[in-house]
Structure 1
Amino acid sequence: MADDDRNPEEEFQELLRRLLSGDTGAIDPEQLSRLSGMQIDPAMMQQMMQQLQGAFAGSDDGISWDLAKRQALHIANQSDLGVTTGERRDLDQAFSLAALWLGEATTIADLPNPGRTITRGAWVEATLPVWQELAEPVATSIADALTAALSEQAPDDMQSMIADAGRLMRAVGGSLFATQLGQVVGRLATEVVSGGDVGIPVMPAGDAAILPQNFADFGRDLEIPDDQLALYLATRELAHARLFRHAKWLRLHVIAQVRDFAHGIHVDTSALEDLASRFDPSEPDELRRALETGALLPERSEAQTAALVRLENLLATIEGWVDVVTDDATARLPSAGRIAEAVRRRRAVGGPAEEALKSLVGLELRPRRMREAAAMWRAVTDAAGVAGRDALWDYPDLMPTAEDIDDPAALVARLQATARGELPAQDAMDDALAQLLAEETDRTDGTPTPSEDDDGAAPDDHPEGPRPV
């Protein structure tokens, strides 16, 4: 029987079998459009089928990270003007002088490679692995929610037919999320000025970079000489990269906290069902907006709110140190104060990372306590000197806490007491550890052990002599 002679029910069953088997390449887009009743553009439907086919051939979790990369590079390269010889020369000189000035402002060692200028596309290539790592928990959650919704809402008589549909739904959800990730990262590439501009370590360790095209956009309305602006931003970028290279644990610490927050996210199934009930495939903008704005993500739980506070304090601590070191290193610049205020204002109103992370993982990234953290680091510098301040990044347990931001005087007092050779005051954990050690000592000195008799004597010390074997 020819395809045209089939009734709609037979056509649909054949189409479903092809979808569930992953044979998307053999599907006729015009047939799918006709069956849907929506008169969808066959070209658009063909593109959707190609994305699905790529998802089936991709990773086992159905998330097409290659699709995200292609989307991001497409957006970034559309408006990428490249790097001119003059821009590279000017910024290379700024990085060289910034490295010398930083040598006077911090004891943290210089980078093995100098800072560099990169294009928007190169920034996407360098940072996408980190964005993928941060977004993966939510991408998986969306794919799982689609699979669960399919199983829960299907009638009993269709359960056997859709038993193998889980992979398809994961592919659909993963492809949608990957597309959105690529769009966000691509737009972000048109905004960020430097590698450390987003506050989190998205560049490879020890890598410092400035995007000349975005640098020009940032300084256009500031009425500040380009050479001073370049020198200040190069100093800040190098300070950020030096810190993360020196404290190797810090990068993992930040990313782990973001992922811990993201792992607690679950898709709002009621919002998903509501969207599905009124979704028109011929007008996909509503679905795009839902993913872009985070409308499918529920309100934060108490645990997530606490995690967000911890992350904000951590990022504020990092950026506060970068602020103080940069201010000291660029004290010679006449416009340093104006530039510093412009950078802080840009971060305070929500830097380029905030919107990206909000849509991807529901995380509003805004270090609200950056000024307080900078004041803490200034107090530490005045009291303990540059070397004493930077030594706090040597080990994780030395790093200042949120309580130290609240009360810098207590941190300064501890550092001064340590410098005088005084033992630090014991806290509750110290007291508990001391008690455990004391109990262990008591058992070693006289408390019976399992190898001893009930009366405390070892077998060979029994009053009646050694027991016969």
Structure 2
Amino acid sequence: MDLVDWDFAVTVGSRLTGPGPQVGADEAHAVVAELREAADRSTPLVREFTGLHAEGGSAPVLVVDRPGWVRANADGFARIMAPISQKLLERKGPPSPFAEAVGSRVTGAEVGLMLGFLSGKVLGQFDPFAEPHGRLLLVAPNIVQVERELGAEPHDFRLWVCLHEETHRVQFTANPWLGRHLMDQMQAVADTIEPAALAEGLRRATDLVRGNGSLLDVVTTPEQREVLDRVTGVMSLLEGHADVVMDGVGPTVVRSVDDIRRKFDVRRKGVGGLDRLLRRLLGLDVKMAQYRDGATFVRHVVDKVGMDDFNVVWSGPETLPSKAEIEDPAAWVARVL
């Protein structure tokens, strides 16, 4: 038994993805081919800039549409959530208030709603949990839609996006321990879960519409938030590092990088009121802070000690920055270097 009906989540999410931009068959094939080529072209550029070595082709590049992204992420979430699901089922015993209140189909619908919303936002993503070495997803219709909305030069924008996502592939494939570390954090969350407390948090989730915070704020205990703070530190590092790389490499190969960055930063803030509300509920405001704070951390450390010494950060879990150190780079330098 699973706490989430993942197939139903895919069905719901795929129905909510929206049609995407109007693209003819010939253009669609050309976009897919160009994205694959841009991803391959990005590998040596990222390697040279970062000093991290990852073999080309060690993780496949998948150019997907929105339903394909929904399916891939449902599969990924199922792997990530497996420890939590197993722990809850072990502790559940006879039917509990949690089991009665939230069935797998209900939670599947909720996950599907989330995936459906995000499927129109995500440009690309590296999935470090896919066997055997992860996989890079590029969401072609979203990339085309955003480049049109920004009025960006298409070839420049596609390469710029691929530089960011390829950096994530290099981060994980050059440091195989990193994906295992993140999975260990999910196990740590599972070890602290109590079904009654989680159910109470879910019942209070509607309060978020009137207040502040994200869904994680009401479904986590102090112990779980401690683990999630560690994850936040890691994710801030990963996202900030990728932003620094894409902007550092960009000027040499993307002529309009400054124009793209300026327009893209405006777009990241969200558009309408509903969009901003959903972003807050899903924790996407936190995600935006990770890009900003992580990039500030990386730039500060690299400016102070250089890229080679910065790369000590990839040595193992003990050299990763904490959430507090992301906000105080000098503290990480003092502790690690």
TM-score of Structure 1 vs Structure 2, range by shorter chain? 0.7 to 0.9
For the residues of structure 2 that align with 1:145 and 1:345, how far apart are their CA atoms?
50
Aligned-residue Cα RMSD (Å) equals 4.4
By how many angstroms is 1:175 displaced? 1.8
Q: Return closer, same or farther for 1:306/1:393 CA change in 2, 3 Å cut-off.
A: same
Taking the TM superposition and a 5 Å limit, the aligned residue runs for 1:37-48 are none
How far off its partner does 1:363 sit?
A: 9.5
- Could you say which structure has the higher helix fraction? 2
2-structure distance, mates of 1:146, 1:138:
16
Q: Assess if the C-alpha contact under 8 Å between 2:325 and 2:331 holds in 1.
A: yes
Residue 388 (str. 1) matches residue 320 (str. 2): no
1:283-322 pair list within 5 angstroms: 298=218, 300-322=220-242
Q: Structure 2 CA distance, aligned partners of 1:269 and 1:106?
A: 42
* Equivalent in 256, 262, 268 of residue 200 of structure 2: 268
Q: Deviations over 1:176-206 (max 9, x none)?
A: 112322333234323311124xxx8576644
Match of 2:298 among 348, 361, 377: 377
Distance 1:294 1:376 in 2: 24
Cα distance in 2, alignment partners of residues 270 and 63 from structure 1: 15
State yes or no: 1:181 paired with 2:102. no
- Equivalent residue of 1:192, what SS? coil
Partner of 1:117: 63
Cα distance, 1:93 vs structure 2: 3.2
Using the size of structure 2 for normalisation, the TM-score is: 0.72
Sequence identity, in percent? Answer: 21
* CA distance, structure 2, for counterparts of residue 364 and residue 304 of structure 1: 20
Instruction: Output the amino acid matched with 1:324.
Output: V
Q: Is the 8 A contact 1:105 1:325 kept in 2?
A: yes
Mapped to 2, the partners of 1:270 and 1:405 lie a distance apart of 30
Q: Are the equivalent residues in 2 in contact too, given 1:102–1:235 (CA < 8 A)?
A: yes
1:64 paired with 2:10, answer no
Q: Distance in 1 between matches of 2:216 and 2:250?
A: 45
How big is the shift at 1:207? 2.0
Alpha carbons of 1:74 and 1:202: their partners in 2 closer, same or farther (altered >3 Å)?
farther
Asked if 2 retains the 8 angstrom alpha-carbon contact of 1:379 and 1:412, the reply is: no
* Structure-2 separation of matches of 1:380 and 1:62: 42
Q: Which has the larger radius of gyration?
A: 1
| 1:209 alignment counterpart | 137
Query: Does structure 1 residue 190 correspond to structure 2 residue 120?
Result: yes
| 1:65 aligned partner, one-letter code | W
- Structure 2: distance between partners of 1:174 and 1:139: 13
Whole-angstrom distance in 2 between the partners of 1:77 and 1:369: 27
Q: Which residue of 2 aligns with 1:248?
A: 176
Structure 1 residue 99 corresponds to structure 2 residue 43: yes
The corresponding residue for 1:55 is none
Q: How far apart are residue 348 of structure 1 and its match? A: 5.9
How high is the TM-score relative to the length of structure 1? 0.55
CA distance in 1: counterparts of 2:260 and 2:94, whole angstroms: 47
What's the counterpart of residue 444 of structure 1?
Answer: none
Give the length in aligned residue pairs.
315
Secondary structure at the residue paired with 2:8?
helix
Once residues 141 and 267 of structure 1 are traced to their aligned partners in structure 2, the CA distance between those partners, rounded to angstroms, is 11
Q: Is the 8 A contact 1:357 1:363 kept in 2?
A: yes
Distance 2:293 2:140 in 1: 31
- Verify the 8 A CA contact 2:201 2:220 in the aligned structure 1: no
Contact 2:64/2:137 (CA < 8 Å) preserved in 1?
Answer: yes
CA contact (8 A) 2:3 2:107 kept: no
Question: Deviation string for 1:311-359 (max 9, x for gaps)?
Answer: 3222112212112222221122333234334555555669x9x958956
Change (3 A) 1:357 1:217: same
Give unmatched runs, 5+ long, in structure 2.
Answer: none
- Contact 2:63-2:138 at 8 Å conserved across structures: yes
Query: Taking structure 1 as reference, are residues 398 and 310 closer, same or farther at Cα in structure 2, changes over 3 Å only?
Result: closer
CA 1:146–1:329 in structure 2 vs 1: closer, same or farther (change >3 Å)?
farther
| Unpaired runs of at least 5, structure 1 | 1-58, 151-165, 273-285, 419-469
Q: Which residue of the partner structure matches residue 250 of structure 2?
A: 330
Question: SS at 1:368's partner residue?
Answer: helix
In structure 1, distance between residues paired with 2:122 and 2:6 = 22
Give distance in 2, aligned partners of 1:349 and 1:266.
Answer: 30
The alignment partner of 1:195 has SS state of strand
Label 1:407 to 1:73 Cα distance change in 2 as closer, same or farther (>3 A): closer
Shift of 1:104: 2.3
- Contact 2:50–2:245 (CA under 8 A) maintained in structure 1: yes
